[in-house]
Amino acid sequence: MEDPSPKNASSPPNWDSIDEDIFCPLCAYNLRGLVEPRCPECGFRFDWPELLDPARRLHPYVFEHHPESNFRSFRRTLWGGLRPKRFWQSLHPAQPSHPRRLLLYWLVASAVFCVVLSLSLIIPNAISLASRNRAIRQVMNTPNDPGFVKMVVQSHGSLDAYYDEIAPPVASWAFLVSLISDTFPALIPLMICYIAWPWLTFASLMVFRWSMRRTKVNPTHVIRCVVYSFDAAMCGVLLIMGVELTTLCLAPGALYYIVPVTASLIVIGSIVVMAFRVYVAYKRYLRFDHPLATIIASQIIALLGLFNILLLLGRVL
């Protein structure tokens, strides 16, 4: 049988020796008979071997393609994304997308992010609350004002009941409730930002898809770009947790000024890294024109959307 592969990446294949139809991986346009390696429907530029070589359709490690080793493929996908140029060169639109696996990847990354974020806020809050309550109990343990004692006993039944209410001990339900009510006002907006940001980015990129005459591009590919770029937030929060635990072990007194400053820098760094990764995805994976301008505009739109969500949340809460 004659070799259907082109002599080089841009020369046309021998269509007479290819039995199956070959479709554009972004918009599913039938490319059979074409000479130029460019989809006339969506403008996607490719090399013929990327579409014709079946061996290239399975990615070596990405989570979507390897359900047989979930933990390993998750770890390797997360790690691979830290080198976005290499990652987005290795992943090609012709490698089929599996939306359920993609969603599962995002849900697992989000669950890990939310748990680690909660712990990173709860641990310092718990230490601070326990130390405050201990101090209150020590100061108020021996009240010498009989009028005050009488008033407290009348209103709370006993001095201990009063202390348990205003400064509950660590191993108590009241302490847990107090800890949660102290932590939630910061935790909820951060979680909402984390969950909303990638999808606001996706929505804004869909707008640009229309304005750039790339309407035929399957949205799954845009979701792929967003999910494999925004998982960097998980690495960011793990880094914050690492800084927090290290500070707790080495210099606990510095916890309340080293960690907030470091965490702010890591958050800013993570946002820049995530935007850069979407930019690389748009440049090397979707091969859009003007990827930098597109991503900057999409992030401004996403940021405005987030402000609106937080304003709305502020009114509701």
Residues found near Zn ion in the complex (CB under 5 A): 24, 26-27, 29, 39, 41-42, 44
Q: Which is nearer to Zn ion, 31 or 126 (CB)?
A: 31
Nearest alpha-carbon partner for 34 in 26, 45, 275, 118: 45
Scanning 81-172, the segments in alpha helix (DSSP H) are: 84-90, 99-140, 146-156, 159-166
Between 38 and 156, name the residue whose CB sits nearer to Zn ion: 38
Question: What per-residue string of b and e applies to 258-297 under the rule 16 or more CB within 10 Å gives b?
Answer: bbeebbeebbeebbebbbbbbbbbbbbbbebeebeebbeb
In the bound complex, what is the minimum distance in angstroms from residue 214's beta carbon to Zn ion? 9
Closest CB to Zn ion among residues 44, 175 = 44
Considering only CA atoms, which of 81, 66, 11, 16 is closest in space to residue 3?
Answer: 16
Question: Helix, strand, or coil here: 167?
Answer: coil
Smallest separation (angstroms) from Zn ion to the CB of 283? 17
For Zn ion, the closer CB: 24 or 51: 24
Nearer to Zn ion, 172 or 215 (CB): 215
251 dihedral zone (left: phi>0; alpha: psi -120 to 50; beta): beta
Contact, 133 vs 168, CB < 8 A?
yes
Q: How far is the CB of 37 from Zn ion (least distance, A)?
A: 12
- Report the largest interatomic distance among the alpha carbons of the chain, rounded to a whole angstrom: 104
Q: How far is the CB of 36 from Zn ion (least distance, A)?
A: 13
Helix (H, G, I), strand (E, B) or coil at 110: helix
Residue closer to Zn ion (CB basis): 56 or 86: 56
Dihedral through CA 201, CA 203, CA 207, CA 212, nearest 10?
Answer: 50
| C-alpha closest to that of 235 among 126, 105, 81 | 81
Smallest distance from the beta carbon of 24 to Zn ion, in angstroms? 3
CB of 94 to Zn ion, least distance (A): 11
Tokens of 124: 């310092």
Report the residue number, 93 or 198, with the smaller CB distance to Zn ion: 93
Q: How far is the CB of 287 from Zn ion (least distance, A)?
A: 11
59 three-class SS: coil
Least distance from C-beta 28 to Zn ion, angstroms? 7
Nearer to Zn ion, 15 or 29 (CB): 29
Tokens found for residue 224: 């792929």
- Residue 203 and residue 207: Cα distance in Å, rounded? 7
3-state helix, strand, coil in the chain (%, to 5): 70, 0, 25
